Amino acid sequence: MKGKEPRYDLAEVKRLVREGRYSASKKSTSWLRNHGFSPILARRIILSLQEKEFVKSLKPRRDDGSWADVYCCDYNEDGVSVCFYVKFIVEGDVATVMLMSCKEWGYAW
């Protein structure tokens, strides 16, 4: 099942990221590292997201998991011009944005 509306308020997600309440899994930034980019770029990409770039929400794989919001954005800053697939969740008692995926749109693992 896919959600047609974001599960997380994008302004709140950006606020959490700006406050340092952000983490990224190794897999989420592997595409960036393997293509010569710093994983720090993922943080900048999240901060550049716009509501109109929302694609879908994905149901958790486990019963105790969190829904993930997916965005497709044309990032054109820092000498980078790529259409990115970005997937994240907000989790924990102290809300933290967890980046699950950041790669070129359409790029298979």
Q: In terms of Cα–Cα distance, which of 36, 1, 14 is closest to 86?
A: 14
**pTM for this one?**
0.88
Q: How far from chain centre, in Å, is Cα 75?
A: 13
Quick check: helix, strand or coil at residue 10?
helix
Tens of pLDDT, residues 31-73: 889 988 899 999 999 999 999 999 999 988 777 778 999 999 9
Is 109 a member of any domain? Answer: no
Single-letter residue type at 59: K
Domain harbouring 53, CATH code: 3.30.2310.40
- Per-residue pLDDT band at 10 (split at 50, 70, 90): very high
Tens of pLDDT, residues 70-85: 999 998 887 888 899 9
Task: With beta carbons less than 8 A apart as the criterion, state whether 106 and 25 touch.
Answer: no
Q: Domain total for the chain?
A: 1
Question: What is the extent of the structural domain holding 96?
Answer: 2-104
User: How much is the pLDDT for 2?
Assistant: 64
- What is the Cα–Cα distance from 36 to 59, expressed in whole angstroms? 31
